[in-house]
Structure 1
Amino acid sequence: MPPTAFSDFFESLFGGGFEADAESEGWPGEASGWAMRGDDHEAAIDVSLEESFNGGRKTVSLQTATMAPDGRIRRGVKTLTVTIPRGVIDGQRVRLRGQGGEGPGGGDAGDLYLRVRLLPHPVYRVAGHDLEMDLAVTPWEAALGARVEMETLGGKATVVLPPGTQSGQRLRIRGQGLPEGNRHGDLYARIQVKVPPRLTRRERELFQSLARESAFRPRME
């Protein structure tokens, strides 16, 4: 299979962002006297979230099976080195006509199906080009409001917590999601209010004082 065929495919799939070089082994010569359609092929490309955000190169090896002129099945390996564009997302599956297995005896080639598989990430959840993560904050940051520094795929960012921020509330950090053309998706920080697992004597006194002074009764609202 010529390398340009895969390059054309990735251009149709990702708008010209993919480049591919192919090396093939085990492809027989043309058979004579008869012809049949080649096999369809399917491959999955595993892409990490960091690779999607920054772009990168992946190598994919495909097993091939073709019929030799003597009628025997000949197996080979086709290797693709793929340049992944920034912002590729999960689940894209595209049919590439005529780029699968060669047709013995000059028959039509099969089709190639390539599916992009975005790998799970320990921190971020993906929704299209938007990302979501959990952000732990202290009770006083949530109650009083605060500027909280956080790590993103693009580096450090600051999220502003308004006074009275609630646990489970989502705050949007614009432009910190996956690239999408000339823009980026957004990053959503889901707030998780955390209390100290152990209190010092002074902390306990302060919380006890707050409990006596506060009129807040969440279970009565």
Structure 2
Amino acid sequence: MARDYYEVLGVPRTADAAEIQQAFRTLARRHHPDVNRDPAAEDRFKEINEAYSVLSDPETRKRYDRFGADFRQIPEDYDERVAAQGFGGGAYGGGPFRGRAAGEGPGGWTEGGFDTSGVDFEDLFGDLFGGRAGRGGGPVPGADQQAEITLTVEEAYRGGRRKITLGGPGGERGYDVNIPAGVIDGQRIRLAGQGGRGRGRGAAGDLYLVVRIAPHDRYRLSGRDIHVDLPVAPWEAVLGAAVPVTGPGGTATVQVPPGSSTGRRLRLRGEGMPHPKGSPGDLYAEIKVMVPPSPGPRERELFEELAAVSAFDPRKQT
């Protein structure tokens, strides 16, 4: 048992039968897989049903209150009243969605969903499906599902087709995904009809792939803008120079203005992430002044000469 049954239904331990039933009805309507398109709704619904099956039966609830999580393991003859009444169990007890645990045969949770025989969905869900739902009603569309796909900055920039494999209750399944050029972190790619199966003749739901951009050792993304460090030599920073800068789309030349210090940003308009329906982002090259790690004799001589004649004091600059 993952959680306390009272906590699952959101009721106090002193709740009466009416409060427990109302809590169940509210939660069941919210989390039933035919209503809630979240992939986690199925597990949540099973948890709610199991909690209700225990707490809605006075004798079963009494055993649960007395023995806690181990109430199913206590011999029935431990309590004569319970033994006289008989104790039904199973993964879902005697709640309105009666059944066995997955894999135990008819009446339980199966690959296709819950066995809804005997369940008054019209009473539980009202006209949510436009009338009576379940076995006797019309088609019910499948639930939308969601998964994540991780891309490098280069893959997100250029797009293209990619084969991916996703695991699920029925095993692994492969997909051929068309990745639009310029997708950004958090954007969703829709695979129509690849989500949950519908019931009756209901259409299948959609599968949404949420894009996650992997960290890069060179590029930093901010929306569609790309930031990259631009190493320059001291004389290039002082005198100015045309230097190459490489982005995911290739190499371009940027003009470093004279007197540039570390941290200055140079903007290359439109060189960021593409946008198929709008303006592309920009590429920002941030200057990083580098010094020779091991200057040769002549280089050192020139730096010493510069130090002797220069009045520049970087610590007095604002």
TM-score, normalised to structure 2's length?
0.51
Question: Does the CA-based 8 Å contact 2:242-2:255 persist in structure 1?
Answer: yes
Kindly indicate which of the two structures has a greater share of residues assigned to strand.
1
* Structure 2 counterpart of 1:145, one-letter code: G
**Relative to structure 2, which stretch is displaced further, 34-43 or 180-189?**
34-43
What is the aligned partner in structure 2 of residue 43 from structure 1? 147
Say yes or no: does 1:164 pair with 2:259: yes
Say yes or no: does 1:178 pair with 2:282: no
* Structure 1 counterpart of 2:316, one-letter code: M
**Structure 1: 5+ residue stretches without partners:** 1-26, 66-74
Identify if the C-alpha distance between structure 1 residues 46 and 94 changes in structure 2 by more than 3 Å, giving closer, same or farther: closer
**Relative to structure 2, which stretch is displaced further, 115-124 or 103-112?**
103-112
Query: Which is bigger in relative contact order (C-alpha 8 A, separation at least 6)?
Result: 1
Query: Offset at 1:32?
Result: 8.9
Identify if the C-alpha distance between structure 1 residues 108 and 184 changes in structure 2 by more than 3 Å, giving closer, same or farther: closer
CA–CA distance in structure 2, aligned partners of residues 122 and 201 of structure 1: 34
CA–CA distance in structure 2, aligned partners of residues 127 and 41 of structure 1: 27
Question: Does the CA-based 8 Å contact 1:43-1:113 persist in structure 2?
Answer: yes
Map 1:54-203; keep pairs closer than 5 Å.
54-65=158-169, 75-93=170-188, 100-102=195-197, 112-181=207-276, 183-203=279-299
CA–CA distance in structure 2, aligned partners of residues 109 and 173 of structure 1: 45
CA–CA distance in structure 2, aligned partners of residues 128 and 214 of structure 1: 43
CA–CA distance in structure 1, aligned partners of residues 245 and 311 of structure 2: 33
**Relative to structure 2, which stretch is displaced further, 137-146 or 77-86?**
77-86
CA–CA distance in structure 2, aligned partners of residues 128 and 166 of structure 1: 26
Question: Does the CA-based 8 Å contact 2:245-2:285 persist in structure 1?
Answer: no
Identify if the C-alpha distance between structure 1 residues 107 and 152 changes in structure 2 by more than 3 Å, giving closer, same or farther: closer
Identify if the C-alpha distance between structure 1 residues 56 and 108 changes in structure 2 by more than 3 Å, giving closer, same or farther: closer
Query: Offset at 1:212?
Result: 1.0
CA–CA distance in structure 2, aligned partners of residues 155 and 135 of structure 1: 15
* Per-residue CA distance 1:121-159 (angstroms, 9 max, x = gap): 221111111100111100000000010022222222111
**Relative to structure 2, which stretch is displaced further, 175-184 or 48-57?**
175-184
Query: Offset at 1:82?
Result: 0.8
Which has the larger Rg? 2
Q: Percent identity?
A: 51
CA–CA distance in structure 2, aligned partners of residues 32 and 108 of structure 1: 20
What is the aligned partner in structure 1 of residue 313 from structure 2? 217
* Per-residue CA distance 1:61-113 (angstroms, 9 max, x = gap): 23333xxxxxxxxx243322111111111112589998633356778967744
> 199, 206, 209: which one pairs with 2:302?
206
CA–CA distance in structure 2, aligned partners of residues 149 and 104 of structure 1: 59
Identify if the C-alpha distance between structure 1 residues 86 and 40 changes in structure 2 by more than 3 Å, giving closer, same or farther: closer
What is the aligned partner in structure 2 of residue 68 from structure 1? none
CA RMSD of aligned residues (A): 3.3
* Structure 2 counterpart of 1:219, one-letter code: R
CA–CA distance in structure 1, aligned partners of residues 251 and 165 of structure 2: 37
- Give secondary structure in 1 for the equivalent of 2:242: strand
Identify if the C-alpha distance between structure 1 residues 210 and 81 changes in structure 2 by more than 3 Å, giving closer, same or farther: same
CA–CA distance in structure 2, aligned partners of residues 93 and 150 of structure 1: 31
**Structure 2: 5+ residue stretches without partners:** 1-110, 119-133
